[in-house]
Amino acid sequence: QLESNLQVCQFLADTRKFLHQMIRTINIKEEVLITMQIVGDLSFAWQLIDSFTSIMQESIRVNPSMVTKLRATFLKLASALDLPLLRINQANSPDLLSVSQYYSGELVSYVRKVLQIIPESMFTSLLKIIKLQTHDIMEVPTRLDKDKLRDYAQLGPRYEVAKLTHAISIFTEGILMMKTTLVGIIKVDPKQLLEDGIRKELVKRVAFALHRGLIFNPRAKPSELMPKLKELGATMDGFHRSFEYIQDYVSIYGLKIWQEEVSRIINYNVEQECNNFLRTKIQDWQSMYQSTHIPIPKFAPVDESITFIGRLCREILRITDPKMTCYIDQLNTWYDMKTHQEVTSSRLFSEIQNTLGTFGLNGLDRLLCFMIVKELQNFLSMFQKIILRDRTVQDTLKTLMNAVSPLKSIVANSSKAYLSAITKTQKIWTAYLDAIMKVGQMQILRQQIANELNSSCRFDSRHLAAALDNLNKALLADIEAHYRDPSLPYPKEDNTLLYEITAYLEAAGIHNPLNKIYITTKRLPYFPVVNFLFLIAQLPKLQYNKNLGMVCRKPADPVDWPPLVLGLLTLLKQFHSRYTQQFLALIGQFIRSTMEQCTSQKMPEMPADAVGALLFLEDYVRYTKLPRKVAEAHVPNFIFDEFRTVL
């Protein structure tokens, strides 16, 4: 009966075979074991083995199952650890663990190096899939007519994609066959090795695509910015779609890996670019974004920027330069002053969002912050140099302050007093204007970025946007309540809540760049009156356009109204609020005194400078989101209500 049962016969045959193996193993003499150990000792191969790497990789590429055979080689390589550890072990040194850890780490790095051929081969196939999916295979619509089914079938390209996908899954299978292996004292998980290898290859290729895709020619007319962003967007979308497509075939979380690695690449490049503005640089070994096992490659700079994010930022600043363009706030658009053609608009930031994602826009915003800080620091040193160290300028400012005091009064013969002060300080305004306009330009860009981040956050993650908005309002209400009644709770110094929530709010675009304090400042004498003089010196270069309902520059003068207003607001925000109050009081006095002189001389029209000053106050209230009574404290409200009707 037993002989007729094939299953029982098979079990008995296997048992006999294993028993024979056991008997042979028991009969092995110790001398044989020692000989085997000496023959199999790979201590000599620690340096030599590297010359066989290319042979091993070629074997794996041709036959991925070769990894299982190489597992024995890797295990034997662990015997190379015996020699350096021999004396340490005999001396019972406490350093045994750390030295073992070091040599095991070196060995694991070599294993990673050999097996990196698998992710490399996978990505070679993946690039072909990207090309097919991006250029050849049409996307199937949700509703499809029966007649068009053959057109959308595209059997040839789809067969090619299936063949390449199968090749990728074979490579995956090869590395996963290796099983968990103890290399020295470090346990190597093949699944983790595969994931790290895929991450490394992804980082290398995406970093290169970003570096190559964002190199601009500054002399190109029109700018290459939008075409290059679209081209890079298509490349990144191809990577993303194909990575998403193969994730199930290689048993990885594709979207998670994609988001983690792309954010790491962008944040690392932003960090490196911001190093330009730091006294103490963040080195690679200090960076929280750089990794030993999955390094982010560094490329040689092609211009003054170190990375692609710097090139992108400087190209945006170049094409939106206030000297060459005019910004229309209502349209969120920049126009060329000579040709009157559109240069760029808020669509630029939507394109950056599509190409680089939220991480890219947020990184661009961070870089602009550093640039604003540098510009404001340069401004302060310039203020010290051209104003506080110039005796003539100081005497002029002192004379003007005596003429306008007290600020609630009307200045007698106002046009003469103001004109005299402007004429004597004329030489300082060119450098002053450049600094203000640069800051204003970057603040406009930061506002556009915040708008784009906020709209995309509300669209893609409305629950997150709502939660952040509510938490922000609740925190502000609690802080205001604490200032009214100090017995109520307030976050302590060691509480990181405010710092952490700020990072989330900026990433979601729930912040106002105009309210940000960029630098710490000391008391500066004559600061409000200098800014007031600067403003009224620029007003003759601007004119109110009735048809557009806005302030426009005169063709010959490089002064654009929105950057001028936002630059001044940002500068005043860095100092104590009493400076802003004094500055607004000086403008209010200027308007009242000019109107008084206009009335007494029976002039039929309101002076253009008074109109410009009123428009500045209107914009000040609008941008700062303060109540209008702040401006009405210095200018009667009926003037505000009526001045547009007489223009």
DSSP structure string for 545-562: ETTTTEEEE-TTS---HH
Question: Does 301 fall in a domain?
Answer: yes
Q: Is the dihedral of CA 209, 366, 464, 353 positive or negative?
A: negative
Residue 449 and residue 500 in one domain: yes
Which range among 246-250, 306-310, 396-400 shows the weakest confidence by mean pLDDT? Answer: 246-250
Give the per-residue pLDDT at 362. Answer: 94
Mean pLDDT of the chain: 86
pLDDT at 184 over 80: no
Q: According to the model, what pLDDT value does residue 272 have?
A: 93
Q: Of 147, 171, 188, which residue constitutes the final position of a domain?
A: 188
Q: Tell me, what amino acid is at 302?
A: V
Task: Report the b/e string of 362-398 with b at 16+ CB within 10 A.
Answer: bbbbbbbbbbbeebbeebbeebeebbeeeeebeebbe
Q: Which two tokens stand for residue 637?
A: 């409200």
Three-state DSSP state, 183: strand
State the pLDDT confidence band at 252, using cuts at 50, 70 and 90: confident
Which of 155, 188, 221 is the endpoint of a domain?
Answer: 188
pLDDT of residue 366: 94
More confident of the two residues 503 and 413: 503
Q: Which residue has the higher pLDDT, 510 or 246?
A: 510
pLDDT at 496: 85
Number of domains in the chain: 3
Bigger pLDDT: 365 or 631?
365
Domain boundary (284, 319, 354) is at: 319
CA distance 327 to 348: 14
For 51-97, the three-class secondary structure string (H helix, E strand, C coil) is HHHHHHHHHHHHCCCHHHHHHHHHHHHHHHHHHHHHHHHHCCCCCHH
In a domain, 340, yes or no: no
Q: What's the rounded mean pLDDT across residues 136-155?
A: 82
Average pLDDT rounded to a whole number, residues 278-304: 88
Query: Residue 548: what pLDDT?
Result: 65
Beta strands in 163-246 (DSSP E): 181-183, 186-188
pLDDT digits (tens, 9 = 90+) for 76-107: 777 777 777 778 888 888 888 888 888 888 88
pLDDT at 42 over 80: no
* pTM for this entry: 0.85
Pairwise CA distance, residues 288 & 290, whole Å:
6
Q: Are 404 and 545 within one domain?
A: yes
Do 392 and 291 fall within a single domain? Answer: no
Same domain, 529 and 603: yes
Nearest Cα residue to 517 out of 528, 496, 495, 502: 502
Q: Domain span at residue 229?
A: 192-319
Mean pLDDT of 214-219: 86
Is 53 a residue whose pLDDT tops 70? yes
DSSP symbol at 542? E
Q: Which residue has the higher pLDDT, 307 or 551?
A: 307
254-258, 264-268, 569-573: the lowest-pLDDT one: 254-258
Q: Is residue 9 assigned to a domain?
A: no
Q: Is 159 helix (H, G, I), strand (E, B) or coil?
A: helix
Residue 14: predicted pLDDT: 92
Report the pLDDT value the prediction gives residue 628, as an integer from 0 to 100.
85
Rounded mean pLDDT, 210-225:
87
Does residue 241 sit in the same domain as residue 124? Answer: no
Task: Give the pLDDT mean for 197-224.
Answer: 89
The pLDDT confidence band at residue 555, using thresholds 50, 70 and 90, is low
Terminal-to-terminal C-alpha distance of the chain: 115
181 and 205 fall within a common domain: no
In the predicted structure, residue 265 carries a pLDDT above the cut 90 = yes
pLDDT tens-digit readout, 575-613:
998 999 999 999 998 888 888 887 777 776 778 888 888
Average pLDDT, stretch 163-187? 78
Q: Mapping DSSP to helix (H, G, I), strand (E, B) and coil, where does residue 187 land?
A: strand
The encoded tokens of residue 612 equal: 């410009």
pLDDT at 563 over 90: yes
112 or 570, higher pLDDT = 570
Tell me, yes or no, whether 638 lies in a domain. yes
Across-strand partners of 552? 543
Residue 352 lies in a domain: no
Report for 207-221, 396-410, 437-451: range of highest mean pLDDT: 437-451
Q: Which residues pair with 181 in a beta bridge?
A: 188
Average pLDDT of the residues in 11-27: 92
Q: Provide the sign of the torsion angle of the four alpha carbons 603, 606, 612, 613, taken in this order.
A: positive
CA distance 643 to 594: 13
Residue 19 domain-assigned (yes or no): no
**SS3 (DSSP) at 543:** strand
Contact 207, 272 (CB under 8 A): no
Residue 549: which pLDDT band, with cuts at 50, 70 and 90?
low
Query: Strand, helix or coil at 218?
Result: coil
Say if 552 falls within a structural domain: yes
Residue 172 above 70 pLDDT?
yes
User: pLDDT band at 376, cuts 50/70/90?
Assistant: very high
Using the 8-state DSSP alphabet, how is residue 576 labeled?
-
Residues 404, 418 share a domain: yes
Sheet holding 342-345, edge to edge: 325-328, 333-336, 342-345
Question: Structure tokens of 37?
Answer: 């150990």
Stronger pLDDT, 228 or 34, i.e. the higher one: 228
Give the Cα separation of 64 and 500 in Å (integer): 46
In 485-610, the DSSP E strands lie at: 542-545, 550-553
Clarify whether residues 118 and 76 are in a common domain: yes
- The dihedral formed by the CA atoms of 203, 206, 211 and 216, expressed in degrees to the nearest 10: -160
User: pLDDT value at position 647?
Assistant: 59
Q: Is the pLDDT of residue 324 over 70?
A: yes
**H or E segment at 276?**
none
- d(Cα 309, Cα 268) in Å, to the nearest integer? 10
Q: Using CA atoms, how far apart are residues 394 and 515, in angstroms rounded to an integer?
A: 30
Provide the percentage of residues in the chain whose pLDDT is more than 90.
Answer: 31
Using an 8 Å Cβ cutoff, are 606 and 614 in contact?
Answer: no
Q: Are residues 266 and 393 in the same domain?
A: no
**Is pLDDT at 186 greater than 80 in this prediction?**
no
The predicted structure's pLDDT at residue 212: 93
Q: Is the pLDDT of residue 571 over 90?
A: yes
The pLDDT of residue 547 is: 65
> Please, which pLDDT band fits residue 451 given cuts at 50, 70 and 90?
very high
Residue at 2 is within a domain: no
Mean local confidence (pLDDT), 442-467: 94
Residue 392 has pLDDT above 80, yes or no: yes
**pLDDT digits 0-9 by tens, 69-81:** 887 777 777 777 7
In terms of domains, do 252 and 128 share one? no
pLDDT at 337 > cutoff 70: yes
266 and 385, same domain (yes or no): no
pLDDT at 207 over 80: yes
Residue 52 and residue 65 in one domain: yes
SS (H, E, C) 283-306: CCCCCCCCCCCCCCCCCCCCCCCC
- Residue linked to tokens 């085997």: 36
